Amino acid sequence: MKIRFYLRKSTKKYSINFEYRNSNGSIRLRTSTGYMIQNSKEWDSRKERLKIPSSVFGAADINTKLSEAMYKFNKSISAIDETDISEGIVQKIMLDAFCKTSVSDKEKAKVESYKSNLISYYTWFLDYYSVHNSPYTKKKLGQGTLKTYKTGLSRLQEYIEDRKLKKFSFNDCNREFYNDYVLYLSSLNYSKNYLGTIIQKLKTILGYAYEEGIHNNNEFKKGYFSKMTEEIDHVYLTVEELKRIQELDLKDPILDGVRDIFLISSYTGLRVSDMLGLLKKPYQVIFEEDDVKYFQLRQMKTSNAVIIPLNSIVNSIIEKREGKLPDYIYSGLINEHIKSICKKAKITDNHSLTRTVGNKMEEYNLPKYKFVSSHTARRSFCTNAFKAGMPIQDIMAISGHKSERVFLNYVKVQKVENAKRIAKHEFFR
């Protein structure tokens, strides 16, 4: 006698099937266990079980059920003399093991509740994909992305508690929920872009679960279930302002390090996460060819391999540090000190910023340095390079932007400035 579990490919998925063969091969029967998976790579053909850990939601539970069914079938079939076994008997035992009594009504309800519980899936998603590659993005969740997802989970849990909901399933994500959730988040005076990020992360979670067959509610795909955004006039620092920062006499080594990291990012377009990644392995990223130094790295967010030439200012920082990059500094420390550094550099012109907070438009008129953060460096690079006439595709190759539309929204160039830049083209001469 031979019994086994195996995968059978259907149109878009794989069914976990069970097969029985008697000793002389006269009886060979197969049945579906009822479990489906998206990717055959999740199956261990030697162990005849799902791989653990697995991106299949509830994989450990499924393996347990398969083992229980296998044990029940084996016990029943072994109690019968092989000469008395017929196809009808085998079919009855199969039906009993895999359909009727392998899972009690209580267990079925528990499994169904587990599968339909959005919070349980959201939590599993963060735990699993923080250490394993996603089948869609082919990479793990980065620290920044993971933090945003965790924030989204917290907001959803707070909403469920505030609304006194005893349970919240995938099927509850409909138009009524969406409108009420947006209303709830708006009442907490979150900005429109923050609110949009929370909605977008929820849509991603719903999308993953939908693709895995955990639910069939496609309301999240409809137009009303949208991520809201608004364009904010974020600041960038001009080349002249960056030069003022460079020329500051900073005795404090921490301030000096923050200043140098900010300037390097401002002239290379590196994200803070990539910049800090370089500081952890400085000897692996700089190379020289034809008297020009370059950074060579793989960007964390996009996984793109990039080579970035270093200008005279970045080279002067490295020379000042005897051929080394600045010491590693936590990103929080950069944000803590960069405003005071900009204030010392007299970057104090008034800047106006308008954004939606809750359901109101709010305007902020403050000295420019108060709006500066670590991310301002990257935006400054893109904007200054664009204004200097560097081809957009070349800038995007460094910055990692995927579309020109997103890039042009990212750079901070006034319409008049852009018109002046275009006017220099030979077509207008």
pLDDT band at 100 (very low <50, low <70, confident <90, very high): very low
Q: Which of the following CATH numbers is that of domain 115-221: 2.60.90.10, 2.60.40.790, 3.30.160.270, 1.10.150.130? A: 1.10.150.130
Q: According to the model, what pLDDT value does residue 240 have?
A: 97
Q: Are 378 and 413 in contact (CB under 8 A)?
A: no
pLDDT band at 106 (very low <50, low <70, confident <90, very high): very low
pLDDT band at 211 (very low <50, low <70, confident <90, very high): confident
Distance of alpha carbon 260 from alpha carbon 237, whole angstroms: 15
- Residue identified by tokens 């000096």 is 256
Instruction: Let me know if the fold of 115-221 is the same as that of 239-428.
Output: no
Tell me the whole-structure pTM to 2 decimals: 0.63
pLDDT band at 19 (very low <50, low <70, confident <90, very high): very high
Q: Are 122 and 205 in contact (CB under 8 A)?
A: yes
3-state SS assignment for residue 305: strand
CA angle in degrees (0–180, nearest 5) for 388-319-290 = 65
Q: What single string gives the DSSP state of each residue in 156-220?
A: HHHHHHHTT-S--BGGG-SHHHHHHHHHHHHHTT-BHHHHHHHHHHHHHHHHHHHHTTS----GG
Using the predicted structure, report yes or no on whether residue 5 has a pLDDT greater than 90: yes
Q: Are 128 and 212 in contact (CB under 8 A)?
A: no
pLDDT single digits (tens) 150-162:
999 999 999 999 9
More confident residue, 381 or 323: 381
pLDDT single digits (tens) 132-182:
777 777 778 888 889 999 999 999 999 999 999 988 999 999 999 999 999
Q: Where are the domains of the chain?
A: 2-103, 115-221, 239-428
CATH 1.20.950 fits 239-428, yes or no: no
| Average pLDDT in the chain | 86
Q: Is 193 exposed, middle or buried (0-12, 13-18, 19+ CB in 10 A)?
A: middle
User: Residue 44: which residues within 8 A CB-CB, separation 6 or more?
Assistant: 50, 51
pLDDT band at 13 (very low <50, low <70, confident <90, very high): confident
